[in-house]
Amino acid sequence: RQQAPRAGLFNGNGKPGEHYIKPKETLTTASGKPVGDNTNSITAGRRGPLLLAEDFHLYEKNVHFNRERIPPRSVHEKGAGAFGTFTVTKDISKYTKAKLFDRIGKKTEIFARWSVVAGEHGSADSVRDPRGFAVKFYTDEGNWDLVGNNTPIFFIRDPLKFPDLIHSQKRDVRGLRSWTMRWDFWGHSPEATHQVLWLMGDRGLPKSYRHMNGYGSHTFSLVNDNNERVWCKFHMKSEQGNESYTDEEGIALSGENPDLFNEDLFTNIQNGNGPKWKMFIQVMTDKQADEVPYDPFDLTKIWPHKEFPLHEVGELHFDRNPVNYFQDVEQASFAPANVVPGIGYSPDRMLQARLFSYKDAAVYRLGINHEQLPVNKPRCPVFNYHSDGFMQTQNGAGPPYEPNSFGGPAEDARYVDPAVPLQMSGEGKRYNHRADSDDYSQATALWHIMKPDEQERVITGITNTMTKGKGAGCKSDPVPKKIQQLNLYHYYRVDKSLGERLAESLGLDLKETIARAEKDLPKEVP
Ligand code: HEM
């Protein structure tokens, strides 16, 4: 099962029950020596102790077994992956010179990993949580990783708060998940209100990975052949439609089949029903970025579709299951820093932090040569002077330094980046990002597009998690009144009637809530 030729052993797209093709081959050790007995260890006499040094096969099996686990991802630990193809359907070359978009009909191999954010391996899929939606495009000019979520926004706008956010969503000192920790962090973070309202709505409990949209979420940049830059957001709309579970369904399904999403994806691909998404972009010019009443680089904000309509780009179709889960899904590594000529970063400070964080995580989890693993390996040639390190397989034959006199790879001025330099000014200091932010009006718009029955589910969902500590994916003690009030205050700021309905449902006095929240929230909160 272990060695390279096993690519033929498992047919990921075979019919159910026919996963394994079983060629008759002789079992071997890792070094290839045929094994004669895989049942009986060597012992000193029939009932005697083991002869461990002599029984190298027994030793090797144990040594390897003890090293099977690697560090898990610190977030998005549980997920599923698939290979597929991206096909360009509309011409966006006036915005970007990225080669993967250079003509209608162009096809690029892709791999995606979808994930639950807070849960660990083995935890349930049908939980209320954002979902990861990371796509690797193996382009002719290197890998482009669009490492997004199923939400267009996020809980925080400053990366200094990311570890705090994640600690509050994972396990407390008892090793238990806790609604108190979640609501406590969200209540102290007014900028989370928009994302939390989204999460408590129907889209916070998608029916499967196939039934949700994907978003690059951040603002990125696109640069065309004339080196003109626009700002851009990426959207991937599910062609299966957006469908959701209710809280009760989510809770029941967690017990019935914790691996629901992974199984759904795998079997649909296996049965020839691989999922599809349409890719769109929103585009904003520098001038528009100066004029909009919100910070277009703030990850807690969307760009309204009315002013910034969606432009179709192409289609993603996933039709190939990984040959082996550990090899392709667990060892997959994505990094927002991986862009290609024609696609660039933006000053979004969350994106900026992610540019360095993922490489570091991959080096810790998989090692310095993780980009040589088959799932991560670019499909275009790679030439550089990185040398050695654990598990090196592609040290070149040439000199390991540059410049050199032997014709090794050299820089090419056509690819200097950033292609369009960012204008920067101001003092380098810690600016209070809450001082002039509007954390409520986009949440108000979201509340108003929810249908009455969804609004009702939001109120019930929030009430259940706060007063009973009960909601899909987490059962805990009720949330203390003080923390309930802190959060109620934000919903009152989103919409007066939402605040009133929620206060009644929670059994809280609104006047007391407002007075207390205004005293307890940090001064800079508007
Ligand atoms: C995974 C950091 C925000 C989407 C990860 C991992 C780290 C991380 C360290 C594990 C990577 C690995 O071990 O391979 C951060 C930091 C953030 C941030 C520091 C903010 C400052 C976000 C946002 C999104 C996102 C805003 C979506 C828009 C993902 C996804 C994965 C992931 C999809 C899983 C990738 C995979 O399937 O391998 N993040 N993250 N993260 N993050 Fe973030």
E-only strand ranges, 321-437 = 343-344
The 8-class DSSP code of residue 178 comes to: -
Secondary structure of residue 471 in the 3-state scheme: strand
What is the reported pLDDT for 150? 98
Structure tokens at 380: 């275009």
**Structure confidence by residue, pLDDT tens digits, 349-372:** 999 999 999 999 999 999 999 999
Tell me if 243 sits within 8 A of 207, measured CB to CB. Answer: yes
Whole-number pLDDT of residue 299: 98
pLDDT tens for each residue of 156-213: 999 999 999 999 999 999 999 999 999 999 999 999 999 999 999 999 999 999 999 9
Q: Is pLDDT at 137 greater than 70 in this prediction?
A: yes
Residue 4: band (very low, low, confident or very high) from pLDDT cuts 50, 70, 90 = very low
Q: How far apart are CA 416 and CA 92, in angstroms?
A: 22
Structure confidence at residue 429 (pLDDT) = 96
The whole-model pTM stands at: 0.95
Query: What's the N-to-C CA distance of the chain in angstroms?
Result: 60
Mean pLDDT, all residues of the chain = 93
Residue 74 CA, ligand 1 centroid: distance in Å: 9
Helix (H) / strand (E) element for 215: namely: strand 214-215
Q: What is the pLDDT of residues 219-244, one digit of tens each?
A: 999 999 999 999 999 999 999 999 99
pLDDT of residue 20: 57
User: What is the structure's pLDDT at 19?
Assistant: 56
List pLDDT tens digits, range 259-303: 999 999 999 999 999 999 999 999 999 999 999 999 999 999 999
Length of the chain: 526
Largest CA distance in the chain: 86
pLDDT at 523: 62
Cα gap 464→460, rounded to integer Å: 6
Please report, for residues 37, 41, 51, 66, the alpha-carbon distance to residue 54 in angstroms, rounded to integers and kept in the order given.
14, 10, 5, 20
Rounded Cα distance, 249 and 244, in Å: 10
**Residue-level pLDDT at 248:** 94
Q: Decide if pLDDT at 22 tops 90.
A: no
277 or 469, which is more confident? 277
Phi, psi of 331 (to 5 degrees): -90, 0
Contacts of 67 (CB under 8 A, 6+ apart): none
Helix (H, G, I), strand (E, B) or coil at 10: strand
Measured from the Cα of 134, ligand 1's closest atom is: 33
Q: Which stretches within 201-301 are classed as H helix?
A: 247-256, 260-270, 286-291
Examine the residue annotation and report whether 386 is marked as an active-site residue of this protein: no
At residue 132 the predicted structure's pLDDT band, cuts being 50, 70 and 90, is: very high
Residue 395: predicted pLDDT: 85
pLDDT on residue 88: 98
Ligand 1 pocket, CB under 6 A: 73-76, 79, 113, 115, 132, 134, 147-149, 154, 159, 162, 217, 332-334, 350, 353-354, 357-358, 361-362, 365
Q: Could you report the per-residue pLDDT of 302-316, keeping only the tens digit for each?
A: 999 999 999 999 999
What pLDDT does residue 323 have? 84
Atom index in ligand 1 nearest the CA of residue 218 equals: 28
- Averaged pLDDT for residues 100-116: 98
Quote the CA–CA distance of 285 and 416 in Å, as a whole number: 22
Query: Is residue 76 annotated as part of the catalytic site, yes or no?
Result: yes
- Confidence category of residue 9, pLDDT binned at 50, 70, 90: very low
Give the torsion sign (CA, 460, 466, 470, 471): positive
Q: What are the b/e assignments for 293-323, b being 16+ CB within 10 Å?
A: eebbbbbbbbbeeeebeebebbbbbbbbbbb
SS3 label, residue 315? strand
Query: What is the three-state SS of 103-149?
Result: CCCCEEEEEEEEEECCCCCCCCCCCCCCEEEEEEEEECCEEEEEEEE
CA of 75 to the centre of ligand 1 (A): 7
What one-character DSSP code corresponds to residue 326? Answer: I
Q: Which run of H or E residues covers position 158?
A: none
Q: How far apart are CA 380 and CA 100, in angstroms?
A: 12
d(CA 383, CA 513): 61
Q: Which residue has the tokens 């973070």?
A: 189
Contact indicator for 165, 156 with CB cutoff of 8 Å? yes
Of the candidates 76, 188, 194, 235, the residue annotated as catalytic is: 76
Cα(148)–Cα(131) distance, rounded to whole angstroms? 9
Q: Is the pLDDT of residue 342 over 90?
A: yes
* Reported confidence tier of residue 456, pLDDT bands at 50, 70, 90: very high
pLDDT of residue 419: 87
Q: Which of 70, 74, 76 to mutate to test the pocket of ligand 1 (most atoms within 8 A of CB)?
A: 76
Tell me: pLDDT of 407 over 80: yes
Q: Which residues of 168-179 are buried (b: 16+ CB within 10 A; e: fewer)?
A: bbbeeeeeebbb
Task: Give tens-digit pLDDT for 23-46.
Answer: 668 999 999 999 999 999 999 999
The Cα–Cα gap between 298 and 315 comes to: 27
Q: pLDDT band at residue 7, thresholds of 50, 70 and 90?
A: very low
**According to the model, what pLDDT value does residue 12 have?**
54
What's the 333 CA to ligand 1 centre distance in angstroms?
10
In the prediction, which pLDDT does 249 show? 96
Average pLDDT on 48-61 reads 96
Residue 259 per-residue DSSP state: T
| d(C-alpha 262, C-alpha 274), whole Å | 13
